Structure 1
Amino acid sequence: MARTKEFDPEAALQCAMELFWRRGYEATSMADLVAHLGIGRASLYATFGSKQELYLKALDRYGRAQNPVLTRELSQPGPVLPAVRAVVRRFAAEATAEATREQGCLVTNTAVERAPHDAAAARRVEQSWDHVETLLHSALVRARAQGELPADRDPLTLARMLLVLLQGLRVVGKASDDPARVRDAAEQALALLA
């Protein structure tokens, strides 16, 4: 007779995601995961596979939690540019807030730490960036159609610029003690939308 799981896999995955997000992949050992999750090593491997497989599942979970928020922000009816500006300012505020600054963004952290030598992690980073770029592009197409954006502005290149800006805000915010650096960059980029 098969044993039933004595833990909630979704709750364990959430805890693993939080630990990876706070410490990074390399600084988190299997022993750390076993201790933090309160799950035996054999159960952890049987449920999630290797450390890398667990990390990728945690990264997927992070994406599922973040994507609806951004989709909702950029898909509201009515004027579009105020929503785009609010998203950029939210990213800048999160990048410099004491409570979230050090942790940063799990996708951005993965891009810096794992993507250069982990193809599966790099694919997930690209998928996340593609999603954000698509949301921004769609919003900016709507903005141009509604007359909020001049006809000579290319929504795709603006979306790409904003994607790079958002990721850069996360990196600089995590590493810099000067919040003005992040805020000023965000506001300068937003001036390009006028």
Structure 2
Amino acid sequence: MARTKEFDPEAALRAALELFWRRGYEATSMTDLVEHLGIGRASIYATFGNKHELYLKALDRYTETRDSHLLRELSQPGPALPAVRAVVRRFAAEAHSDDHRAKGCFVTNTAAELSAHDTAANRRVEASWDRIETVLCSALIRAQAQDELPADRDPRGLARMLLVLMQGLRVVGKASDDPGRVRDAAEHALRLLD
């Protein structure tokens, strides 16, 4: 007879995500995970696989949550350009928040720490960036169709620029003591939408 789990796998995955997000992959040991999750090593392996597999599951959970939130923000009926501006400004504001400065963006952190040598992690980072770029591009195409964005603007190129800007805001916001640096960069980039 199979034993029932004595822990909530969803709660354990959320706890692992928080630990990896705060400390990174390399700085998080299996011992750290056992202590932080409050479950045995054998239960972690049986439920999630090894540390790398658990990290990828945590990254998947993060991107599912964050990317779907962004999709909802940018897919609302009505004017699209104000929503794009609001998202970029939110990224700038969050980039300098205490919580972000402590943890950063999990996708950006993964890109910096693992993408160069971890194919599975890099695929997930690229997939998240592709989704964000597509959602931004769709919103900008809608903005153009609604005469909010000039017809001579390239929605795909602007979406790529905004994606790179937003990821850069995450990096600079985590490291810089000057909140004006990310805010000013965001505002100057948004002028390209005028």
TM-score, reference length from structure 2:
0.98
List alignment gaps of at least 5 residues for structure 2.
none
Could you tell me which residue of structure 1 aligns to residue 66 of structure 2?
66
- 3-state SS of the aligned residue for 1:36? helix
The one-letter code matched in structure 2 to 1:53 is: E
- 3-state SS of the aligned residue for 1:79? coil
The one-letter code matched in structure 2 to 1:98 is: D
**Are 2:161 and 1:140 aligned?**
no
CA distance in 2, matches of 1:44, 1:99: 27
Could you tell me which residue of structure 1 aligns to residue 82 of structure 2?
82
Could you tell me which residue of structure 1 aligns to residue 166 of structure 2?
166
CA distance in 2, matches of 1:39, 1:97: 32
Deviation of 1:161 after TM superposition, in Å, equals 0.2
Deviation of 1:4 after TM superposition, in Å, equals 1.4
Deviation of 1:68 after TM superposition, in Å, equals 2.1
Could you tell me which residue of structure 1 aligns to residue 106 of structure 2?
106
Could you tell me which residue of structure 1 aligns to residue 21 of structure 2?
21
Deviation of 1:100 after TM superposition, in Å, equals 2.2
Deviation of 1:101 after TM superposition, in Å, equals 2.0
Could you tell me which residue of structure 2 aligns to residue 123 of structure 1?
123
1:63-104 CA distances to partner (integer Å, 9 max, x unpaired)?
111122111110111111110000000000000112322211
Could you tell me which residue of structure 2 aligns to residue 11 of structure 1?
11
The one-letter code matched in structure 1 to 2:131 is: H
CA RMSD, 1 decimal = 0.7
TM-score, reference length from structure 1:
0.98
CA distance in 2, matches of 1:162, 1:31: 39
1:37-57 CA distances to partner (integer Å, 9 max, x unpaired)?
011111111111110000000
Deviates more, 1:181-190 or 1:61-70: 61-70
CA distance in 2, matches of 1:66, 1:168: 17
1:117-167 CA distances to partner (integer Å, 9 max, x unpaired)?
100000000000000000000000011111111111000000000000000
Could you tell me which residue of structure 2 aligns to residue 96 of structure 1?
96
List alignment gaps of at least 5 residues for structure 1.
none
